[in-house]
Amino acid sequence: MNREDFLACKNGDLDAIQNLDQRVLRGVTFERDTVLHIAAREGHFRVVEWILNNVRGMCDAHNYDRNTPLHEAAKGGNREVVQILLRHNRNSASKLKLYRETPLLIACEYGHMEAATLLVEATPLLLLDRRLEFWLDSIISWWRKLLAPRSMVRFPDDTPLHRAVHGGRVSIVHEILDKAVRGEREILCRGYMTETDQFGRCAVHVAAVQGSLDIIQEFISSFPCCVTIRAENYKTPLHFAVESNRYQVVQNLLSNVDSEKKAILVSCDRDNSGNTALHLAAIEGVDSQ
């Protein structure tokens, strides 16, 4: 693909693109971007629609980073482009990029609620299922991680919910917990909220560490029993909140349980080191009141 053709795609020049022959339309850049990658990234939905109607097999094309056009659209949060791509190939929502990230993970990370909603509606099981373990993806991911700076390394065990919590995206958390799971809400919430990241923490534990009061409230509203969820080290959200000196989160967690459960959470539930939340409060110098 030459510079003139690239700029036509980047600028959304539909007239110029319609005059390109099939050989050019199937060409790629040095980064292996197709015309569809470029148009999707820039949000040119009319160009995207035309390409999909006139050039076959473009939806699943991967660039050098193994991004599909849908990954690019999800990153930009362009609702129209995401909608068009899903209409042409719903299965593209489950495709994995270099660090085994689905388009849904990308949309959550960048806080694009409308795009995330469309992706969840297209493939709701993405909320529960781990990323598929393809040998090729694993090999490429490992190789690139060895070369990439630490700040660029992704954590493949993050779920969309973890990613949204890390980013402080309250609206995305609400969308996942409330709207996306719909009729099977209780079953899906229970299964999805107990998924752990590479550190053995559920999303509610991450919210407690970060002191994300609004997100904690979203969890409690959707799944009141989340206050008792254990991490792999047997810590509850209360343990994490106390350790991180998140006093308001501690108050919020305890105000949503009865007096009997409160006593258990504070002075009976122990982590794998034998510490209760009260022990940790004493260690950290937190006011136990």
Quick check: pTM over 0.75? Answer: no
Residue spans of the domains in the chain: they are 1-156, 179-289
Burial of 185 (0-12, 13-18, 19+ CB in 10 A): middle
67/177 Cα distance (integer angstroms): 27
pLDDT number for residue 132: 31
Q: Compare 157 and 22 and report the one with higher pLDDT.
A: 22
CATH class of the domain comprising 1-156? mainly alpha
Do the two domains 1-156 and 179-289 of this chain adopt the same fold? yes
Those residues with Cβ within 8 angstroms of residue 282's Cβ, 6 or more apart along the chain or in another chain: 288
pLDDT tens digits along 261-284: 888 889 889 999 999 998 888 876
Least confident of 146-155, 172-181, 216-225: 146-155
The pLDDT-based confidence of 180 (bands split at 50, 70, 90) is very low
CB 227 within 8 A of CB 237: yes
The pLDDT of residue 17 is above 80: yes
Sign of the CA dihedral running 146, 150, 153, 154: positive
Q: Regarding the domain delimited by 179-289, which CATH topology (the fold level of the hierarchy) does it fall under?
A: 1.25.40
Least confident of 89-93, 112-116, 212-216, 282-286: 282-286
pLDDT tens digits along 74-88: 999 999 999 999 998
Q: Compare 206 and 97 and report the one with higher pLDDT.
A: 206
CB 74 within 8 A of CB 115: yes
201/233 Cα distance (integer angstroms): 8
